Amino acid sequence: MAIDYAQSAKEIVKLIGGDDNVINLTHCATRLRFILKDFSKVNKTTLSRVKGVITVLESSGQLQVVIGNHVGDAYQEVMTLIHIDEKAAATGGAKVGIVSRLMDIISSIFVPFIYPLAACGILQGIISFLSAIEVMDPASGTYRILNFVSWTGFTFLPVMVAFTAAKKFNVNPFTAVISACALVCPDYMNMLTANKIATLNSADPAIHKLMQEALSNPEMATVLTQLAGIPVTAPNLDFFGIPVQYLSYTAAVIPIILMVWAMSYVQHFFERLLPLVIRNLFTPMFCIAIMVPLTLLVFGPIGNAIGGGIGNVYNYLYHLNPSIAGFVVGAMWMPLVTLGVHWGITPVTVGNYATLGYDTFTGLQASPVFAMAGAVLGVYLKSKNSEMKRVALSAGVTGLFGITEPAIYGVALRLKRPMLCGCLAGAIGGAIAGWFNAVSWSYCLPGIAVLPVFFKTGHMPQFLGFLLSITVAFVLGAVFIWLAGFKEDDEVQDQPEDDASQLLAVGESSPITSPLTGTAIELSAVKDEAFSSGLLGQGVAIVPQEGKVYAPFSGRVETVLPSQHAIGLRSESGIDLLIHVGFDTVKLAGKGFNALVAEGDEVTQGQLLIEFDMAYLAAQDIDATTVIVVTNSEEFSIINPQHHDVNSGDELITVTR
C-alpha cells in the first residue's frame, strides 16, 4: 500500500513540536534534517512509528528523520506545512560543537545538488565506456557535445556552492552567484590561461623559443589571439597595487564557502548602514565589489591552502599503504553514515577530482556499500519471518543502488549482527580496492548504476580490481551473516507468521472494553497537554472509582514502567494500547502501585493487571485520572468513544483500521 506522505508530514510536524519549533529543514538522499529551537519538544518514540519513517536520530545539531528513497516526497509535503524564517535559519537553534556545526554546513551546502552533480559524473563514465568499446567516436560531434555537457556541473560547481551557501548563511543568493560567476568568467579564465602559458614558456626554453617565434610574427600573434581569445602576454594582476595570485576557481569549494560566509557580514553591515531608499541597489553592489577582490586576494589562497592541505593529508596516508587505508574506510564508512557525518568527506573527494582528475576515496567507499547490501540480502535468505524477509529484500536492493540507510536502520542495527558482518566484509573489500588502487574518475554515489564512472581507457587493472572488491564485499556480507546468524528482535521473533491473519483488515473494527470502573471523559479534558492534544494517540480518559486495572482485550504486555503506573499492551489484532494511571505519578517511584504482570506476558481479556491505592494517591495530591490511548492511531480511527459512567469490561471504544 502506497504511503500517504501528506498525512505522514502532518504527523511529523506535530511530533517535532509544530511549525513554531522549526528553524530550518533540508534533506539529503534519505533523511529529513531539521534544525529545531527546542529538541525537548520532540516525541522521538512516536515519531519513529509514523508511516514512512524508518528511524529518528539526533546528530550534528539536527533532528534527522530517516525516510529512505521517498525523502523528496516527504520533504515537499512537510515544506507546505512549515514556515522557514531565513534569519532564524541562519543563526541556528541549539548550541552544538564545532564539528557538528561543520557537518551541518557541509551537508546543507552539498545535499541540494548532489544528485545532479553525480548525474554529470555518470554521463562522463558512460561516454568514456562507449568510446572504449568503440561504440562512440571521440572525434564525433555527439561525443564532444555530451562530453562538455558532462563537465558543466564541475566547471560551474562554484556557482552551485555559492547558491546553496547563500541560503545557509542568509545571503542574497543572486549576489552570491554573481560573485562566484566572476571567478569563472571568460576574462579571468583567459588571463589564467595566459599566465600558465607564460609560466610554461619560462620553464621550457624550447617552448619559449617556439612561442617567441610565433608571437614575433604580428599576423600569427593576431591569429592566436582571435582564435583562442587568449592574451599574447600574461598581465600582472593586482588590486590597488596588491598582487593577485593566479588560481583556478573551477570546481573550487572552500574558497567559495569562505567568500559567502564573509559576505553575510558585509551584507548585514550595509543593510543596517544604508537608507532604505538605496539599500536594495547598493548593498549587492558593495558585496560584489568587496567580496570578489577579497576572495582573489585572501579567501582564494587561504581556501586553496586548506583544501589542498586536507587532500594532501588524506592522499599521503593513502599512499603509505592503500590496502590499510581501504580496510579502515571499509570498516568505518557505515558507522559514519549512521552518525550522519559522512558528508564531511565531500570536500576532499571534490578537491581530488579538481586537482588529480580522480578520487581514491570513492573507490574504497564502494565496498562497504555493497557489503551492507550483501549482509541484508543474507538476512533475506536466512530469516524465517515473512515481514523481515520483505524488509530485508527491499533494503538490500536499494543498497545496491547506493542508498544504504534503509538497510542500516531497517535491518542491520535492528538485528545488530548484520551491521558487524557488513563492516567486516566492507573492510576486506576495501583492502582489495586499495591493493588495486581502485579509483573513480568522476563524482558519484557508489552503486551498481554508476559502475562506468570507475572505468577509464588504459586503466583496466584498476577497474577489474574495483569490480573484484565490490563482488567480494557483497558475497562476504551475505556469507558472514549466513554463518554468524542473528537473533530476530522481539517484534519479529515472537509473532508467528500466521499472525497476519489475525490483524484487522482495512475497514474492519474491533471493540476495546474499559480497563477500569469510573466515569469516562473526553481525552481533550485531561490536564496533561501531551495526552489532551492527541499527540500520543487517540482515545479516552477515565476518572476511576476503584484502584484496579483490567486487560481490555487479549494480547501481550509490551511495556511495564518501573514505576508500575503505566502499561503498554498489544492486542492479537495489532492494536497498541497505553494505559496510564494518573499524572505526575512517576515521582512516586512505584509507591502505591502493584503491577501483577511483566513485560512479555500473555494476558486475557478481563485479567487484573495493576492495583493502585487511590487513598494514597489522593494524599500525595495526585490526580488518578487514567488515560487509555491507541498509540498506533495512525493505522486506525477511533469511533464511538463512551463519555459516561462505565464498569470494567463494558465496551469503551471501537477501533477501525
Q: 3-state class of 51 per DSSP?
A: coil
Indicate the pairing of strand 602-603 with strand 509-513.
unpaired
Element (H, E) at 611: strand 608-612
| Amino acid letter, residue 299 | F
Residue 388 near residue 379, CB atoms below 8 Å: yes
Count Cα neighbours of 391 within 13 Å in the Cβ-side half-sphere: 22
Q: Enter the C-alpha cell of residue 592.
A: 502505591
- Cβ pair 605, 513 in contact under 8 A: yes
28 is catalytic: yes
Pick the closest to residue 515 from 640, 645, 607 (CA basis). Answer: 607
Contact 111, 42 (CB under 8 A): no
User: Distance between CA 530 and CA 118 in Å, rounded?
Assistant: 44
CA distance 42 to 14: 9
Write the secondary structure of 177-213 as one string of H (helix), E (strand) and C (coil): HHHHHHHCCHHHHHHHHHHHHHHHHHHCHHHHHHHHH
What span, in angstroms and rounded, lies between the C-alpha atoms of 579 and 166?
49
Amino acid, single-letter form, for residue 628: I
Residues 372 and 408 sit within 8 Å (Cβ to Cβ)? yes
Q: What secondary structure does DSSP assign to 205-244, as a single string?
A: HHHHHHHHHHHHSHHHHHHHHHHH---SS----EETTEEP
Catalytic residue among 28, 120, 287, 423: 28
Q: Cα–Cα distance between 84 and 524 in angstroms, integer? A: 30
Task: Quickly tell me which residue has 588571463 as its cell.
Answer: 191
| Burial of residue 461 (number of CB atoms within 10 Å: 0-12, 13-18, 19+) | exposed
Q: Give how far the C-alpha of residue 88 lies from the chain's centroid of Cα atoms, to the nearest Å.
A: 22
Q: What angle do CA 192, 196, 197 make, to 5 degrees?
A: 115
Q: Copy the grid coordinates of residue 456.
A: 577509464
Contact 31, 66 (CB under 8 A): yes
Q: Using DSSP bridges, classify how beta strands 238-239 and 651-656 pair: parallel, antiparallel or unpaired.
A: unpaired
Locate cell 498489544: which residue? Answer: 570
CA distances from 429 to 157, 370, 371, 461, 604 (A): 31, 9, 8, 16, 52
d(CA 285, CA 193): 28
Nearest by Cα to 358 from 426, 427, 431, 459: 459
Cα 408 from Cα 418, distance rounded (Å): 9
What are the angstrom distances between the C-alpha of 376 and each of 269, 446, 509? 54, 17, 36
What is the rounded distance in angstroms from the CA atom of residue 397 to the CA atom of residue 288?
48
Q: Which residues are catalytic?
A: 28
